[in-house]
């Protein structure tokens, strides 16, 4: 049995106190052009805005495993996301771990379960700086500056992001939700179904 914050971790559990464990996602990366401007205007008009935020995120990807993404968000929160399935137009993802510092020993063990190569680096005494140093030596390491604008409609969250990595800037649109039909409906509404569904791991590996 795995434990998180001293409570049993049920792999089939769909919701947690700090948000959904599993969600359906569509994400694309775009150049800033007139066609994308039209889509952005539709999002701004038809969806409810929930604020914006700036972030510095650090990504750690293991070779050949872009479907498992370990992210250090603003030196405050460590998350591990794993793709569960990619059938049809959407991907299903699981947030396997979300923790702040200092980590509990049980949480560090869970990270090692999902990403065995990181087992020795993750411990209850690790802080953001020491963990970045350790994980960057065992993975492909990327640092991204993001401006993220949050929107929502019909139970689907939309993140409109300006992403700068390695001197390259892209606009990313991500749609997420618990209901795959609702997410697919909003993807079609925005006219995004003709674009590639590209998660962050694939994008970073092809820079």
pLDDT at residue 54, rounded to an integer: 97
Question: Confidence class of residue 5 from pLDDT cuts 50, 70 and 90?
Answer: very low
Indicate if the pLDDT at residue 12 is higher than 50.
Answer: no
Task: Indicate whether 8 pLDDT > 50.
Answer: no
The pLDDT of residue 139 = 96
- Lowest-pLDDT range, 10-24, 87-101, 165-179? 10-24
pTM of the model: 0.86
Q: Taking residues 191-207, what's their average pLDDT? A: 93
Domains, the chain, with CATH or none: 20-205 (2.40.320.10)
Q: What is the DSSP secondary-structure string of 37-86?
A: HHHHHHHHHHSEEEEEEEEEEEEEEETTEEEEEEEEETTTEEEEEEEEE-
């Amino acid at each position: 049995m795995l434990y998180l914050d001293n409570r049993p971790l049920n792999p089939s559990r769909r919701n947690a106190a700090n948000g959904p464990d599993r969600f359906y996602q569509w994400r694309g990366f775009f150049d800033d052009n007139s066609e994308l401007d039209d889509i952005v205007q539709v999002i701004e008009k038809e969806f409810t805005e929930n604020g914006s935020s700036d972030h510095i995120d650090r990504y750690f990807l293991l070779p050949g495993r872009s479907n498992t993404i370990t992210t250090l968000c603003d030196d405050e929160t460590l998350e591990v996301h794993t793709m569960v399935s990619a059938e049809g137009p959407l991907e299903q993802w699981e947030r396997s771990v979300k923790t702040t510092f200092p980590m509990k020993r049980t949480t560090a063990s869970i990270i090692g379960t999902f990403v065995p190569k990181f087992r020795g680096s993750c411990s209850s005494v690790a802080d953001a700086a020491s963990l970045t140093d350790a994980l960057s030596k065992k993975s492909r390491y990327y640092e991204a500056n993001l401006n993220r604008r949050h929107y929502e409609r019909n139970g689907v969250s939309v993140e409109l992001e300006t992403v700068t990595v390695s001197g390259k800037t892209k606009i990313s649109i991500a749609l997420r939700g618990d209901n795959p039909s609702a997410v697919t409906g909003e993807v079609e509404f925005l006219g995004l179904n003709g674009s590639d569904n590209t998660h962050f791991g694939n994008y970073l590996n092809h820079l």
